[in-house]
Structure 1
């Protein structure tokens, strides 16, 4: 099996995958009609399904979901050296997050200081918020629509400090007081949340804390952008983890037909996108109800919501109780996430390729540590893989070289038997057997290299380390297509030369014509792939070409030596 046939197989599989995903977007199940509004204790319908108890089962019957408090809200900021958060005093929700270490665009001479990437966003078209609050059926409680007060409008990590925090306070005339404290540590994407309930009333207070993520899904794009934009091939939706079932995910398309409703201890819940994610991480010893719903599913901009609903909190009169949780807002940094919470590294969502992709990512990271350049690390990875598979590819190429030498004899058989395919195949098999040529010698390498290829595709597409990572010269971003198509052209030339060396004996005329245009097709096909992947496959093809040339030469020399002996 030659390289061109191998790539044809890869291309067909990849195109089939793209067609399936686009078909699901256009013709897959649509969100269901909204469910009847839940009834509150007062018997009035609760129409805000983003409030616990409105559309998602909660553990405390009769959740109180009062209308949003009147008053003017304001925005306050909290920042460390890698993260800048904007918090709305309406609900004390985090409505905007800027990742200071990750620019929105590649750094170039024309654009030396691009703005930081934004994950949480309060713009309507890209709405994405991390919300939290309290609910109670025994008294007042501030949900994520309550009006808090902040004593200061900004808090930034100063030089020499290890952490920074900001407090938001809500008080009720009855004497109940809740203080939300958000804290950030230096060089950390984890936000620590402490909701302190101070019961100044004469009766016990009972309630629950909840933490949720709510967002508007990405806009639909045309087929060309869906094919050429690597972000469109990344998973976009909700994901959660439990010690029993491990990592599970829910695309936005499935929110209506497969809603989450799980009781989990020691887990987390998140929303994923390309390169980045946000996750609520409750205390590991708490049994938490994880759920999902669609807010306003029939509107022009439905919002998708996932929630972690905590266990009952009891606060005696004159006492105070803290409810804590952590919120991760940041990149999919492999090698560090499992320290934060078990299974958090699985947010890279390699799927069934995890067993291949994770070792490849680790190896690529080690090569980068040696070379200091991700493009060079990719080249070194090619050489290591070629060395590991040398014995297999050697058998493949030697079989191809012997088949190429048999072309004149195969052509004679074809002329002898004409259109009698049965006799032609029998004669060819006898010839191969006599000359000790195995035409199936190339099948084993493809069974090994195909999972590696797909696994590497996932690594290069999902690895935040390669985002905006430069190579040399004109390539400023290995995760984006080559802007001048130099690598696709090089790959076209490599594939063209490879095709010239492959045996065509016994090949169907139609197939032979198709193989002649394959180099051009693959050149165009790879023109829109991430340049890191095209670099990998170009170097892989070049090394295979050199190996095939060397083996062809050694086979020819062996034949000449045998004839002169």
Structure 2
């Protein structure tokens, strides 16, 4: 096999792996449904308490500004986020991400992640207690705050007294990034013990705008007992009904993920928790986690703590929280199989971007580095291909001589390889090296928020979006955008042309069927890449150009590679 053929085959096989595994795993390895969780309380098995769901109708949409004014609020002000906490219901339901914009236009507003119930795309977090022997706060409770603004340097405590001997407090703290810490305290001044269960919930209306695919999971996600679960989707919750999907876990987290954004409830890591997802049939979905039941004696108080993440899936930020004790929080990004290989590539790319200042140039520099690392492998491959090409007449003679004696033919072929010091598998080695590289780069460039809205040059203003310049609509003069694979941007066309040029630089394959496959492969890859991110296309255009230069060098160092095989 020739070098460029191996590269194109590596891309094709990697694409098959990316697409095929998701299909096969969903079809033949379906997740096992979890039974509704229960807890033993005083020797009796009882259903776990259900956290309070949002009381707003998912079908009622009102203006956000009006809804925000209907509740007294505590402002949230940090370097990365802004918004407010509603004192009615003690909900974190108003949050924008200051470092990320909706579009690439200069006047674009910041990305809105959370929004109050009853508004467009309602999405919020709430915290409270469940139990039967006390008057508990709910979504209509109006809390009293000891401050007006929540900042990283100044926590805010909300208080509510039920008038029956119990006082409830929620202390909110926030760090410099996207993590809230919620401390829940109950003081029992009544005459009898109080049995409660603290919980946290996330409620959202509607599914993710980023569709979940075989290569990227969006929607319900969590880490339970040290393993991250990507198997639950919005359709699964619709089918499960009120029972939902439940998990018993010690440590971990639960929430909802979009392509670039994440919310997560993170219970205390040293105790068992009941966590799960549910849907109410009206388009509302909930993720919740309940701590173990606590009993508060008369005259005593008890405190529990949990955290809430609401922000962007920035790799360094997620890794920092993981290092701080949130297990597998980096898996909020669906890295897939090759996470051990993908993250070093990401960190190298991010380092190049920080020092260069242009993400597209950083991608090109990464391409050069990878090709330089693989150059010795390509040299050995070419040397092996040269030997195999010289041996082809002898191999053909052996095949003709022993065509009716397969065992003898294998013996003679092995003896020939040994005497000529040739390795027939050496030509295929680059395929197995390039496959994880392709998959890793696909994941890094497709999922990393760090590339979102980053420009390159000329008409490419956003490397995370498909190439906008396409001759299909006469470069924008016709008022429509071609869909999917028909959106043949200039980068995708260049990718196909450079792959075709690699094919033309190689000797013609002897097998007519192989000739046909290799002739059509570049154009199939062009269509495959057309709807993908421009940054990914840029990498492969640059890689193809470098491969063309490398081929010329290697052909010059390996005379006779392009000569016809002599009989």
Smaller-chain TM-score bracket = 0.7 to 0.9
Q: What residue number does 2:222 align with?
A: 240
Given that 2:389 and 2:561 are in contact with CA atoms closer than 8 Å, whether structure 1 keeps it comes out as: no
TM-score, normalization: structure 2? 0.76
Q: What residue number does 2:61 align with?
A: none
Size of the alignment, in residue pairs?
A: 508
Residue 446 of structure 1: how far off its partner (Å): 1.0
Given that 2:218 and 2:258 are in contact with CA atoms closer than 8 Å, whether structure 1 keeps it comes out as: yes
Where do 5+ consecutive residues of structure 2 fail to align? 57-68, 470-488
Tell me if 1:57 matches 2:42.
no
Residue 480 of structure 1: how far off its partner (Å): 1.8
1:135-284 → structure 2 map (5 Å cutoff): 135-143=130-138, 145-150=139-144, 155=149, 157=151, 162-185=152-175, 187-216=176-205, 218=207, 233-241=215-223, 245-252=226-233, 253-255=235-237, 259-264=245-250, 266-284=251-269
Residue 523 of structure 1: how far off its partner (Å): 2.1
User: Which segment is superposed worse, 81-90 or 459-468?
Assistant: 81-90
Measure, in 2, the Cα distance between the counterparts of 1:209 and 1:374: 45
Q: What residue number does 1:347 align with?
A: 332
1:319-358 → structure 2 map (5 Å cutoff): 319-335=300-316, 336-343=320-327, 344-358=329-343
Given that 1:133 and 1:211 are in contact with CA atoms closer than 8 Å, whether structure 2 keeps it comes out as: yes
Inter-CA distance 441–26: structure 2 relative to 1 (3 Å threshold): closer
Match 2:381 to one of 372, 396, 405: 396
Inter-CA distance 535–454: structure 2 relative to 1 (3 Å threshold): same
Instruction: Give the 3-state SS of the residue equivalent to 1:117 in structure 2.
Output: strand
Deviations 1:188-225 (A, max 9, x none): 2111212232334333333121112233452699xxxx
Q: What residue number does 1:310 align with?
A: 291
Match 1:74 to one of 71, 93, 97: 71
Measure, in 1, the Cα distance between the counterparts of 2:293 and 2:129: 10
Instruction: Give the 3-state SS of the residue equivalent to 1:102 in structure 2.
Output: strand
Given that 1:289 and 1:308 are in contact with CA atoms closer than 8 Å, whether structure 2 keeps it comes out as: yes
Measure, in 2, the Cα distance between the counterparts of 1:559 and 1:233: 39
Given that 2:492 and 2:526 are in contact with CA atoms closer than 8 Å, whether structure 1 keeps it comes out as: yes
Measure, in 2, the Cα distance between the counterparts of 1:518 and 1:64: 55
Residue 12 of structure 1: how far off its partner (Å): 5.2
Measure, in 2, the Cα distance between the counterparts of 1:340 and 1:354: 20
Residue 555 of structure 1: how far off its partner (Å): 2.3
Measure, in 2, the Cα distance between the counterparts of 1:422 and 1:520: 41
Residue 102 of structure 1: how far off its partner (Å): 0.9
Instruction: Give the 3-state SS of the residue equivalent to 1:513 in structure 2.
Output: helix
Inter-CA distance 27–481: structure 2 relative to 1 (3 Å threshold): farther
Residue 444 of structure 1: how far off its partner (Å): 0.8
Q: What residue number does 1:92 align with?
A: 90
Residue 240 of structure 1: how far off its partner (Å): 3.2
Measure, in 2, the Cα distance between the counterparts of 1:406 and 1:150: 86
Inter-CA distance 250–140: structure 2 relative to 1 (3 Å threshold): farther
Instruction: Give the 3-state SS of the residue equivalent to 1:364 in structure 2.
Output: helix
Match 1:103 to one of 101, 104, 128: 101
Measure, in 2, the Cα distance between the counterparts of 1:327 and 1:402: 61
Given that 1:280 and 1:325 are in contact with CA atoms closer than 8 Å, whether structure 2 keeps it comes out as: yes
Residue 329 of structure 1: how far off its partner (Å): 0.9
Residue 58 of structure 1: how far off its partner (Å): 5.4
Q: What residue number does 2:59 align with?
A: none
Given that 1:91 and 1:148 are in contact with CA atoms closer than 8 Å, whether structure 2 keeps it comes out as: yes
Match 1:374 to one of 359, 370, 381: 359
Residue 499 of structure 1: how far off its partner (Å): 0.2
Q: What residue number does 1:518 align with?
A: 521
Instruction: Give the 3-state SS of the residue equivalent to 1:556 in structure 2.
Output: coil
Given that 1:170 and 1:179 are in contact with CA atoms closer than 8 Å, whether structure 2 keeps it comes out as: yes
Measure, in 2, the Cα distance between the counterparts of 1:190 and 1:56: 28
Q: What residue number does 2:483 align with?
A: none
Residue 537 of structure 1: how far off its partner (Å): 1.7
Match 1:552 to one of 545, 551, 555: 555
Q: What residue number does 1:45 align with?
A: none
Tell me if 1:365 matches 2:365.
no
Given that 2:253 and 2:266 are in contact with CA atoms closer than 8 Å, whether structure 1 keeps it comes out as: yes
Instruction: Give the 3-state SS of the residue equivalent to 2:438 in structure 1.
Output: helix
Q: What residue number does 1:488 align with?
A: 492
Q: What residue number does 1:42 align with?
A: none
Given that 2:82 and 2:95 are in contact with CA atoms closer than 8 Å, whether structure 1 keeps it comes out as: yes
Q: What residue number does 1:538 align with?
A: 541
Residue 86 of structure 1: how far off its partner (Å): 4.1
TM-score, normalization: structure 1? 0.76
Inter-CA distance 102–558: structure 2 relative to 1 (3 Å threshold): closer
Measure, in 2, the Cα distance between the counterparts of 1:421 and 1:479: 57
Measure, in 2, the Cα distance between the counterparts of 1:443 and 1:182: 58
Tell me if 1:384 matches 2:369.
yes
Inter-CA distance 506–312: structure 2 relative to 1 (3 Å threshold): same
Given that 1:467 and 1:479 are in contact with CA atoms closer than 8 Å, whether structure 2 keeps it comes out as: yes
Where do 5+ consecutive residues of structure 1 fail to align? 36-54, 561-565
Q: What residue number does 1:116 align with?
A: 110
Instruction: Give the 3-state SS of the residue equivalent to 2:292 in structure 1.
Output: strand
